[in-house]
Every structure is written in C-alpha cells, then in structure tokens.
Amino acid sequence: MNKIVNLYKPKGPTSFDMVQTAKKILGVKKAGHIGTLDPMAEGILPICLDRATRIIQFLASLAKVYQAEMVLGAATDTQDATGQVIATGNPENITEEQIRSVFKDFTGEQTQIPPMFSAKKNKGIPLYKLARNGITIDRKPVSIHIPSLEFIKKEGNRVEFEVHCSAGTYIRTLCHDIGRELGCEAHMGRLIRTQVGSFGLKTSLTPEALGKAVADGTVSSRLIAVEEALSFLPEIRIKKSFISSIANGIAPSKSSLETFPRQFKPGMNLRVSNVSHPLLAIVEPVVDQDAFAQLLPREVAFKLKRVLI
C-alpha cells in the first residue's frame, strides 16, 4: 500500500473528505492528496498512501489540465457558481472570435491574484475563513504559466474550454479575469480536472471502483508505484557499493555516480537509482554541470532531500 491511488473525486465532497474515504477503503494509516480540488469540482485527485506520502512535496508542482465552463454575464464573490453575484454585464454581443482572441492574451506567462475564497493562507489562516467573516485582505500577484487555453464551444452565455496550466493556477480566477477583459463579467460554472502530471483519466478510480478492487483482490495492480510517479524527474545512477551509504543518509559524492544528466543546476530535483533499486532517494545538485566537472572524486555533488530506500 506504499503507493499512489489515482482517485476520481466526484462533485460535493472536499479533497480532505476523499483522503479519509481512501484511508477507510484501503485500511491505511497515512494518506495525503496532491493538489486541492474545491467541493464543486470533480476529477483527478492523486492520493499518496502510507510511506508514499514522503514524496508529496515532489509532486506538488505538477502541471494540471482542466475542462471548465465559464458563465458570462455575472461575477460572484467566490468567482464560481456557489457565490453571490457582485457584478453583472451584458454578454449578448460577445462572439466566439472575441473569446478566442482574449484566450490568446491569457496564454503564456501570467500573474494572478489568488481569490479570497481559497485555501491559500495568510499568517497561517486560510483566506476562505477570513472571507466568510467578511474580511478581505490584499493579496500579492502570483506568477503562473498557461501553455494552452483552448476554446471548445459556446452555447448562449456558457463557454466550454480546456486549459493546461502550472500548479497554483485558479481556474475560477481565470474565468473572472477573462470576464473582466471581455467587459461582461463572468464566473466559473463547472470544473473537471482531467490530468495531474502523468495521472490521467484512464488510470483513475472512483471511490466505488476502488472499493470493488479491494473486494476482488486486484487493488495492488490498480495503484501506482512511487518510482513510476517520479519518473518525470531526471535520473542519476549510483554504483552498487554506495547504496548502503545512501540508505544511511550520506550524500552521494562524485565518485559514487555511474550516470547523470548532461545538464543540471541547484534547485532541481533528481531521482537516484541503481540497477537493482529503481528508486533510492531524491537529491538536489549543489553545483551545476560545469562546476561538477571540476569537483574532486570524493567531493559531494548532490545533497539528499529524501531517502526512499
């Protein structure tokens, strides 16, 4: 059970509710989700189980894909359909061409102000708790990246689209901001997360399907191994004689390496493996590839961030 379940969250429950559901179905003591989904949203919610919770921090920055519905003509205080209308506009003359044009403006590197009704914290307090008490505070713009924002269809004042975005992007804020740009106000009417990194719809399980897999004994084959979940990270391989050193928390020296990426730099995460062990640890370079070439054999090239053996 030290794996990841690619759970499909239905509308209604919170992400925390789904973690508790997974723990109950699978009988595990520890679990944690990757990327929060609001109660009104549905879709992919990967949940790390037991010892797999140790890799959550390395999966938190995975890119996301969403299919969403934007409702033109009204902005709400929550920026979605659960809130109270705070501004209105006339969407009757908004065309598909105008929407496609504005979508282009919201593609690429962007900044976004996190909504008050969000789990983002200020001095340890979630913003939504402040908002529920009528408190609004200034929020600093956050840098996000939207590689693609694709128009699907428009029916009346409802616009369906698909967005590929970086972690930390609020789709309801995106709808709100697009509505302002179009001059007619807007909010998010529906949201489905279809992908989190390599976690997609094909491997996802509803709570009901997860329970069935437990009952028929196939659950282990339906879960995702930690090494598979981290396969997107660049890899370094170490010599067999250094495996015990890694297990004891000793950072790998230059002489311990068999293979390593051509390019790397401080701030990156890399996975450490060996022929007999697909995943030993996660490390961060202490130097870039140019400085690495100048290191002596016994000098440390990578610092340990998490031992996984």
Structure tokens at 278: 């697909």
**Rg for the chain (alpha carbons), in Å?**
22
165 in Cβ contact with 146 (< 8 Å) = yes
pLDDT at 265: 95
pTM for the structure as a whole: 0.92
70 in Cβ contact with 64 (< 8 Å) = no
CA distance 279 to 4: 15
Closest CA to 66 of 154, 182, 174: 174
Report in angstroms the alpha-carbon separations of 283 from 70, 139, 244, 251, 257.
41, 33, 16, 8, 13
DSSP class of 54? G
Please identify every residue annotated as catalytic.
38
Report in angstroms the alpha-carbon separations of 212 from 19, 20, 119.
17, 17, 32
pLDDT digit of tens for each residue in the chain (309 aa)?
A: 899 999 999 999 999 999 999 999 999 999 999 989 999 999 999 999 999 999 999 999 999 999 999 999 999 999 999 999 999 999 999 999 999 999 999 999 999 998 877 777 777 777 777 778 787 888 889 999 999 999 999 999 999 999 999 999 999 999 999 999 999 999 999 999 999 999 999 999 999 999 999 999 999 999 999 999 999 999 999 999 999 999 999 999 999 999 999 999 999 999 999 999 999 999 999 999 999 999 999 999 999 999 998
Closest CA to 186 of 110, 103, 256, 243: 103
Q: Backbone dihedral region of 7: left (phi > 0), alpha (psi from -120 to 50 degrees) or beta? A: beta
pLDDT at 286: 95
Closest CA to 142 of 111, 116, 170, 166: 111
β-pairing verdict for 42-49 and 4-9: antiparallel
CA distance 280 to 230: 12
pLDDT at 126: 76
pLDDT at 149: 98
Identify residue 129 by its one-letter amino acid code: K
What the chain holds in terms of domains, given with CATH numbers, is: 4-62+198-228 (3.30.2350.10), 64-196 (3.30.2350.10), 233-307 (2.30.130.10)
